[in-house]
Amino acid sequence: MEHVANNPADGAQAYNFAYLDEQTKRMIRRALLKAVAIPGYQVPFAGREMPMPYGWGTGGVQVTAAVIGPNDTLKVIDQGADDTTNAVSIRQFFAKTANVATTEKTAEASIIQTRHRIPEKELREDQVLVYQVPIPEPLRFLEPRETETRKMHALEEYGLMHVKLYEDIARHGHIATTYAYPVMVDDRYVMDPSPTPKFDNPKMNDMAALQLFGAGREKRIYALPPYTKVKSLDFEDHPFDVQTWEDECGMCGARDSYLDEVILDDKGNRMFVCSDTDYCTERQESGHRGPQHHDQPLGSSQSGKAAE
């Protein structure tokens, strides 16, 4: 048998457009159509083994591969940033296997694949947001068995989840879930929003863009059609709230974005910067300045340049 011509090491030529074969794409596409028709329900799909590890976005990559066409522009973010190594790696994968345009600008992307964040900029109807999901089952940590959780979803039996959240309140005075905070979709399915911080949950509600979720290892796909009601679970006496910071972004001065903490030394000095790098860059470009901004000409921070 001749292997060389089809060896992955030779590059992308031996592979189909966007890596997956057409039959696999059709299987994923059928699952996607069911997913949008049953918002928040986890559709089982025969996830394929991808040339990247499980847990590193194989579900998102398969969804993107099934959705992406030659005229799309792809943006990939991890923790809100385009330049985190895994985001770079996934972007390169599609640049290589699908030869599509890529961008770091939220507004220019037609497909955004994300791990752990929703962009700060409001998404539009002509955009698709693809989430990488590690554990799609919101009830998994309460009940490890799929046979049981499936029944619970079928019977709309979500009491256990409320009990868990309420126990948090009793013990800590707060619901102690800060990310992967469960949501109720269209008053029917409890859904895991993927490990995005709960700060992003309100953005999911009534979003103009289509939201698709892919869990590769767990072999599940789910979706939120545009303009779908997504409500974070809460209690009358403990309404849902999101994270807030006393600080502003050190670079652009934003007070409305999710901030990452940057440790400056081992003496407790720290600053905060926007987790969404495109949002921060755009604000800086339009003249916003935070207290730690270096005020150099923009675009001068070269690859690999060390912090001054």
Partner 1 sequence: MTVQPQTTELLPGFEHAAFDSNAVFRVLLDAMSRPGRIYELPLEMASPDGLNATITATLLAMADMDTTIWLSPSCAGKAATDHLKFHCGCPISTDVKQADFAVARIDDDLSFITDLSVGNAEYPDQSATLIIMVDDIANAPSMTLKGPGIKDTHHLEIKNLPESFHAWRAENHHMFPCGVDVIFASPTKIAALSRTTKVEVN
Partner 2 sequence: MYVAVKGGERAINNAHKLLAEQRRGNKDVTEIETDQIEQQLSLSVTRVMAEGSLYDRDLAALAIKQARGDLIEAIFLMRAYRTTLPRFAFSKPIKTAEMDVSRRISATFKDLPGGQILGPTFDYTHRLLDFTLMANGQEPADAPSGDFPIDENMPRVLDDILNYEGLIQDEPTPVDENAPVADLTREPVKFPAGRDLRLQNLSRGDEGFVLALGYSTQRGYANSHAFVGEIRYGTVSVEIEPEELGFAIDIGDIELTECETVNKFKGSKTKLPQFTRGYGLVFGQNERKSISMALVDRAMRANEMGEQIMGPAQDSEFVMEHSDNVQSTGFVEHIKLPHYVDFQGELELVRRMRAEVEERLAKLDGKAAKSQPEAAE
Distance CA 180, CA 132 (A): 12
Tell me if residue 252 is catalytic.
yes
Distance CA 260, CA 20 (A): 35
Tell me if residue 40 is catalytic.
yes
* Dihedral over alpha carbons 23, 29, 31, 37 (to 10 degrees): -160
Among candidate residues 57, 60, 252, 290, the one labeled active-site is 252
E strand or H helix at 111:
strand 111-115
- In the range 41-60, which residues lie near partner 2 by CB under 8 A? 44-51, 53-56, 58
Name the percent of the chain in helix, strand, coil, to the closest 5: 30, 20, 55
Q: Which one of partner 2, partner 1, none interacts with residue 184, CB within 5 to 8 A by kind? A: none
> Taking a C-beta distance cutoff of 8 angstroms, is the pair 208, 251 a contact?
no
> Taking a C-beta distance cutoff of 8 angstroms, is the pair 181, 198 a contact?
yes
- Pick one of 129, 133, 223, 273: the residue that binds partner 1 (CB under 8 A): 223
Nearer to partner 1, 146 or 260 (CB): 146
DSSP structure class, residue 244: -
The CB density around residue 213, as the number of other CB atoms within 10 Å, is: 26
Q: What character string, x for contact with partner 1 (CB under 8 A) and - otherwise, covers 151-170?
A: x-xxx---------------
For residue 267, state whether it binds partner 2 (rule: CB under 8 A). Answer: no
- In the range 116-135, which residues lie near partner 1 by CB under 8 A? none
- In the range 64-93, which residues lie near partner 1 by CB under 8 A? 66-70
Q: Which stretch binds partner 2 (CB under 8 A): 67-75, 152-160, 227-235, 296-304?
A: 296-304
For residue 217, state whether it binds partner 1 (rule: CB under 8 A). Answer: no
CB of 37 to partner 1, least distance (A): 4
Distance CA 301, CA 295 (A): 11
Catalytic residues, which ones?
A: 40, 249, 252, 274, 280
- Which residues form the interface with partner 1 (CB under 8 A)? 16-18, 22-23, 25-27, 29-39, 41, 43-44, 66-70, 150-151, 153-155, 186, 188-189, 210, 223-229
